[in-house]
């Protein structure tokens, strides 16, 4: 068995099965923990009836999705109506393939590296994740279009504008890491943050980390960027006409996208499977035990970001659409372009991994951003400028 697994193909196949099972389980229990976290924030109890502490609630919810009557409205575009949830779920499930989970592994303890704990390492793993992530908009757009429902169509158009707008500052924030590390290979980006004289990229470029985090909220349609759903105004948005398992695929696809996005930001800015000062988490640690420890650390960091996603959802209100678009085009985009330009200058000066230079530049840029935002005459929030003025007196008093 060990000899078979020493072939990277079979080891990757085994990892694929294990990660898919873990991902499906994590998606189901993400819903459970989201309900528990929202209950904790709102001083409620949350799911507690099905199984001990409500831990069997995801199984009950899954059974409900499977057993509910699958209704297809008469006026929908049936091929696209059926295809949209498959795209949303399928695209979200394949993004994990290039994430480096546990570094190199020596399976038989003979001192030689046998395989890499990674499903695939195409050398351009970062571009792969960006390409796969950008396809998720098709599930939303096709779902909204195929519904033949005006509210769903509005949601699809909102989502298209939102995802396309936020992909640009997201790409510029990622370019900062690519310029600093000098590679598109995710495993090399992790290794560039480990060792003497190296630190996690969040220390060098915290501003770029924050921009990437904000854009991930937008790309996954999570509050305060959930304009594609917006239950209070669009009756559920792009999946208004969906039910049973098709709605469940949209639902699970969103959580899969969150998990993959969390793993992506962990690899780019938080050292991937590395924790400073912890034995067994160095590039030279290639035992099976070290691999399992690295996978555990990686999963723990992803879980922390999943908690952050859920915490923010139940804390912040939704943006108005014009505020959302203004934040991207007039806020995040110029800042991310400035960060990418500064990262290029640091590489030219040979200071790309210098904490005083990199972190100092981020602090200066943050200060400039705050000063410019205070000097702007147009408020960042408030009523739209093209709306009529509000009269401080009632119509009756005005007469």
The secondary structure of 272-339 as a DSSP string is TT--TT-TT-STT--SHHHHHHHHHHHHHHHHHHHHHHHHHHTTSPPPPHHHHHHIIIIIIHHHHHHH
Pair 125, 96: CB distance under 8 Å: no
Beta bridge mates, 115? 105
| Mean of pLDDT values over 302-317 | 89
Q: For residue 395, give both structure tokens.
A: 């119509």
Find out whether the peptide bond into 381 is cis, omega within 30 degrees of 0.
no
pLDDT score recorded for residue 262: 92
* pLDDT tens string 197-225: 788 999 999 999 999 999 998 888 888 88
Pair 83, 77: CB distance under 8 Å: no
pLDDT score recorded for residue 379: 59
* pLDDT tens string 98-124: 888 888 888 877 777 778 888 888 888
pLDDT score recorded for residue 380: 53
| Residue 92 CB-half CA count within 13 A | 29
| Mean of pLDDT values over 271-299 | 86
At residue 394, does pLDDT exceed 60? no
- pTM equals 0.88
- Please tell me the distance from the alpha carbon of residue 216 to that of residue 219, in angstroms, as a whole number: 5
pLDDT score recorded for residue 205: 92
Higher pLDDT, 153 or 34: 34
Pair 207, 365: CB distance under 8 Å: yes
Where does the pLDDT of residue 236 fall: very low under 50, low under 70, confident under 90, or very high at 90 and above?
low
Alpha-carbon separation of residue 197 from 43, 120, 352, 355 (angstroms): 46, 29, 12, 10
pLDDT score recorded for residue 213: 93
Pair 284, 106: CB distance under 8 Å: no
| Mean of pLDDT values over 250-277 | 88
Each domain of the chain, given as residue ranges in start order, spans 73-377
Q: 105: helix, coil or strand?
A: strand
**Mean pLDDT over the full length of the chain:** 84
- Please tell me the distance from the alpha carbon of residue 25 to that of residue 285, in angstroms, as a whole number: 29
């Amino acid at each position: 068995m060990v000899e078979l697994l020493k072939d990277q193909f079979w080891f990757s196949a085994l990892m694929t099965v294990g990660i898919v099972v873990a991902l499906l389980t994590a998606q189901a229990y993400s819903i459970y923990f989201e309900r528990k976290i929202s209950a904790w924030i709102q001083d409620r109890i949350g799911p507690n009836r099905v199984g001990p502490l409500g831990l069997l609630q995801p199984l009950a919810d899954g059974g409900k999705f499977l057993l509910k009557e699958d209704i297809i409205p008469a006026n929908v575009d049936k091929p696209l109506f059926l295809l949209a949830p498959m795209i949303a779920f399928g695209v979200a499930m394949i993004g994990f393939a290039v994430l480096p989970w546990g570094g190199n592994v020596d399976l038989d303890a003979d001192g030689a590296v046998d395989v890499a704990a990674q499903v695939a390492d195409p050398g351009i793993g970062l571009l792969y994740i960006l390409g796969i992530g950008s396809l998720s908009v098709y599930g939303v757009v096709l779902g909204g279009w195929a519904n033949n429902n005006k509210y769903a169509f509005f949601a699809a158009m909102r989502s298209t504008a939102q995802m396309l707008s936020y992909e640009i500052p997201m790409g510029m924030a990622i370019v900062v890491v690519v310029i600093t590390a000098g590679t598109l290979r995710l495993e090399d980006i992790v290794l560039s943050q480990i060792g003497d004289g190296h630190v996690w990229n969040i220390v060098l470029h915290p501003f770029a980390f924050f921009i990437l985090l904000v854009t991930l909220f937008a790309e996954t349609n999570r509050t305060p960027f959930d304009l594609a759903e917006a239950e209070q105004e669009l009756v559920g948005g792009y999946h208004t006409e969906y039910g049973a398992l098709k709605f469940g695929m949209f639902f699970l696809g969103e959580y899969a996208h969150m998990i993959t996005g969390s793993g992506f930001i962990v690899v780019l800015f938080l050292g991937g499977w590395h924790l400073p000062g912890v034995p067994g988490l160095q590039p030279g640690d290639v035992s099976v035990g070290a691999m399992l420890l690295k996978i555990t650390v990686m999963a723990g960091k992803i879980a922390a970001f999943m908690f952050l996603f859920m915490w923010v959802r139940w804390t912040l209100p939704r943006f108005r659409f014009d505020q959302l678009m203004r934040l991207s085009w007039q806020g995040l985009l110029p800042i991310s372009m400035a960060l990418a330009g500064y990262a290029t200058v640091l590489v030219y000066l040979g200071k790309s991994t210098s904490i005083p230079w990199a972190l100092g530049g981020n602090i200066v840029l943050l200060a400039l951003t705050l000063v410019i935002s205070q000097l702007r005459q147009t408020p960042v929030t408030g009523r739209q400028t093209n709306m009529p003025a509000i009269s401080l007196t009632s119509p009756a008093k005005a007469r």
